[in-house]
Chain A
């Protein structure tokens, strides 16, 4: 496939609406300045001005005045069954499209239900804007019905939040919320809206419509261009390194930098690891791709970082799941660290060259600086390093023992079959646990924005709603969720949303009857004392449950049924499909670096010999 084809289809960068919706001719969307309006209509209109096409949400008392004008708005509203679903759908939408996802819910319990997605988006730098209802301004602090200090609760898990106190501020605050969510290091922004300032029956909701063209945030100045002197020093380190590795993180995707990352890797011939958040940022079928590093990374990705003399960290944050024990992480490596967030530089490991800036702009400047310093021909001979990497790859591939006839399915086999029988640009969302790690390991991500997952917070139940959000954002793509049985039970009800809204996502449940990753830890580190970890393969009956929710349900128990079930699911595009795969509960995720240990103590599949070490 041509390079340009592969990336040409990627969603465009976070964009402001370029078309004036007034051409649609509806009175609602005419941006005539100075027109009297109530706050609820102003809020919806402000969302329209921001180019919002879809809101995921669930109404309730305090937010009702904002729901009323949705009837007259071109914005599509998707009615969820639980507010957590709305938040994860907004995240899935943002992961897959790069555009901010929007969720709207009411006050009190609705607001607390969406705290998990807010925290999830905060940890993974996902741009979402969440609107919450609030009791009338005068009732705040009186313990009114469904009151909750939403801004107080969400302060530590949002990039920023607002409590609107005046209807006149609504357009400005919505504009600022989207600006903050989508620029710099992206993240979740919450806007809490007291009922009286959006309720047309209340005089406090009256406002004169306007649309601010500029934002005035004196304390908010995201860096973009990197310091040229630091970039030159980084280029010199790259040209001098004998065992360099590019450590690419989720920031590559946020910065739309996949294409320039590939340019840099090919120019210098340096291998690339892609973290859990960066899967797809560099094509897995590329000869320089090393795959995922970290606790469940492959041997070569982990060990090449450990033995490197230069780590080029691009949009990655030295997460503990990547570094293992920090003092023992990549001990001989000099560090170049590029991050849009200056607070990440030196937070975990002090860089030799730290560059605060947008990953795409900095990589472009790095490529230029390498050229000015004499180009890649100035680099030392790295053939021995390349040879070493190839040797590791051959010696320690990802492996599993195929099941004997009559035995339970191997989850890895299910994933390989799914991977090989879905389009190359299929979007795959996952929950959290063993199935997440296997999917990241065994899938071949050859396109950016095809992997939707919860990395930082590790939110069980993420997959189903996130897949729905991704499918809404990219209806042209096939979207599969890979879920565990434990995860599925947390948010499965959102399949009712998908069925009723005709959002044809596909779900593969790897049902091993256990909280699998917990079981793995109990087996390896708690002397096989399996405390409170068994879920049962039959309770619930996943096939019947799927059908009760308006989906097609299937159950697969033997290897020969795997492919036909997947093929059947691929053909269904008018409703969601759920396939329950009965998998082997004894299967563990290898390799593994136990928590708190050095990456040198990686345990590979026992099939490699030496008891796995």
Chain B
């Protein structure tokens, strides 16, 4: 499906992916560093990586580049921080998961199910007057869904915060290159 431009994207919007040692207290150190400098973390997601010695923290911040440079350098000083990458929104693939319980009384239930289908979401739980649905996608797609489904009434909503990885480099294979 089409990825709409992210409404949250601006010149101030930066994604940091921070590889850290998988030890207690590391998230506090990272988050505390932002708090001490008065920067708001817009979104944060953290989980172990393919190597269980490390976790990856994805942080979305809205700051100008200059203070961000200082934040990155200070983050890099933390003993448990192994590697930091800054991704511009255009250079990243971003995904987020949304869980929502929405009002779906019998008279509009069909419309709600149809909307979830259009957004390629899934229905996880069905109640008498409510549905719980999940939706995965780019943050902007989730924003759109949230706005539309809001017309029916959102009972509970939980988003994960975004995770991101760099987009892969595309390169035309040279003639000499043997096929992989």
A605 at the interface (CB under 8 A from B): no
User: Contact at B20–A219, with CB atoms within 8 Å?
Assistant: yes
Task: State which of B36, B70, B73, B82 has its C-beta within 8 Å of the C-beta of A218.
Answer: B82
A218 near B29 with CB under 8 A, answer: no
- Tell me which of A217, A219, A341, A346 has the highest count of chain B C-beta atoms within 10 A of its own C-beta: A219
Interface size on B, residues (CB 8 A): 21
Tell me which residues from 118 to 160 in chain A have a Cβ below 8 Å from any Cβ of chain B: 151-152, 155-156, 159-160
Interface centre among B25, B70, B79 (most CB of A within 10 A): B79
Q: Is the CB of B78 within 8 A of A219?
A: yes
Contact between chains at A342 and B25 (CB < 8 Å): no
Min distance, Cβ A9 to any Cβ of chain B, angstroms: 34
A195 to chain B, nearest CB (A): 19
Alpha-carbon separation in the docked complex, A341 to B36 (Å) = 19
Known contacts A163-B25, A219-B82; A156 and B73 CB within 8 A of each other:
no
The distance in angstroms between the C-alpha atoms of A151 and B29, with both chains bound, is: 10
Report yes or no: A155 in contact with B79, Cβ–Cβ below 8 A.
no
Count of chain A to chain B residue pairs whose CB atoms are closer than 8 Å in the complex: 40
Partner of B25, one of A151, A220, A343: A151
Q: When the two chains form the complex, which single residue of A163, A165, A218, A341 contacts B77, counting CB atoms closer than 8 Å?
A: A341
Q: Which residue on chain A has the smallest CB distance to residue B33? A: A156
Which residues does chain A contribute within 8 Å of B77, judged by CB atoms?
341, 343
Verify if B86 is at the interface (C-beta below 8 Å from A): no
A165 to B24, CA, bound (A): 10
Docked Cα-Cα span, A533 to B41, in Å, equals 42
Shortest CB distance A414–B (Å): 41
Does B76 have its Cβ within 8 Å of any Cβ on chain A?
yes
In contact, A346 and B69 (Cβ under 8 angstroms): yes
> Which of B28, B73, B82 is within 8 Å of A342, CB to CB?
B73
Cβ–Cβ < 8 Å partners of A180 in chain B: 79
Tell me the smallest distance from the CB of A542 to a CB of chain B, in Å: 40
Contact assessment for B25 and A347 in the assembled complex, using a CB-CB cutoff below 8 Å: no
What's the tally of chain A residues with a CB closer than 8 Å to chain B? Answer: 18
C-alpha gap A346/B67 in the complex (Å)? 10
Near A by CB (< 8 A), chain B positions 31-46 give: 32, 36
In B1-38, the 8 Å CB interface with A consists of 20-21, 24-25, 28-29, 32, 36
Chain A residue, CB-CB nearest to B78: A219
Task: Find chain A residues with CB under 8 A from B32 CB.
Answer: 155-156
Q: Is the CB of A219 within 8 A of B21?
A: yes
Contacts of B73 in A (CB 8 A): 342-343, 347
Asked whether A219 and B70 contact (CB < 8 A) given A151-B25, A156-B36, the answer is no
Contacts of A217 in B (CB 8 A): 79
Say whether B60 faces chain A, with CB atoms less than 8 Å apart: no
Chain A residue nearest to B82 in the complex (CB): A219
Decide: B81 and A219 in contact? CB cutoff 8 A.
yes
Chain A residue contacts of B80, Cβ below 8 A: 219
- Mask: chain A, 321-349; 1 = CB below 8 Å from B; 0 = not: 00000000000000000000111001100
Q: Which of A208-249 contact B (CB under 8 A)?
A: 217-220
Residue of A nearest to B25 (CB): A151
A298 CA to B120 CA in the complex, in Å?
72
Interface of chain B residues 132 through 174 with chain A (CB within 8 A): none
Shortest A15–chain B CB gap in Å is: 22
B111 at the interface (CB under 8 A from A): no
Q: How many Å from the CB of B45 to the closest CB on chain A? A: 20
Complex contact A155–B20 (CB within 8 A)? no
- How far does the Cβ of A505 sit from chain B's closest Cβ, in whole Å? 35
In the bound complex, what is the Cα–Cα distance between A373 and B53 (angstroms)? 48
Q: Are B78 and A152 in contact (CB under 8 A)?
A: no
A341: B residues at CB distance < 8 A: 77
Q: B76 and A342: CB pair below 8 A? A: yes
Q: How far is the CA of A165 from the CA of B20 in the complex (A)?
A: 19
In the bound complex, do residue A343 and residue B76 qualify as a contact, i.e. CB atoms below 8 Å apart?
A: yes
Let me know if B70 and A343 touch, CB within 8 A. yes
Q: CA of A347 to CA of B71 in the docked complex: distance in angstroms?
A: 10
Kindly state the separation between the CA atoms of A155 and B30 in the bound complex, as whole angstroms. 11
CB nearest to B73 among chain A residues:
A343
Q: What residues of B have a CB within 8 angstroms of the CB of A219 in the complex?
A: 20-21, 78-83
B49 at interface by CB-CB < 8 Å: no
- How many angstroms from the CA of A82 to the CA of B29 in the assembled complex? 29
Bound Cα distance from A219 to B36, whole angstroms = 21
* Cβ distance B9 to chain A, nearest Cβ, rounded Å: 26
A-B contacts besides A219-B20, A219-B79, 13 pairs, CB < 8 Å: A155-B25, A155-B29, A155-B32, A159-B79, A160-B79, A163-B24, A165-B24, A180-B79, A217-B79, A219-B82, A343-B70, A346-B70, A347-B73
Give the 6 A-B residue pairs with the shortest CB-CB distance, closest first.
A343-B73, A219-B82, A160-B79, A219-B81, A220-B79, A218-B82
Q: Can you list 7 residue pairs at the A/B interface with Cβ under 8 Å?
A: A156-B32, A163-B24, A217-B79, A219-B20, A219-B80, A343-B70, A347-B70
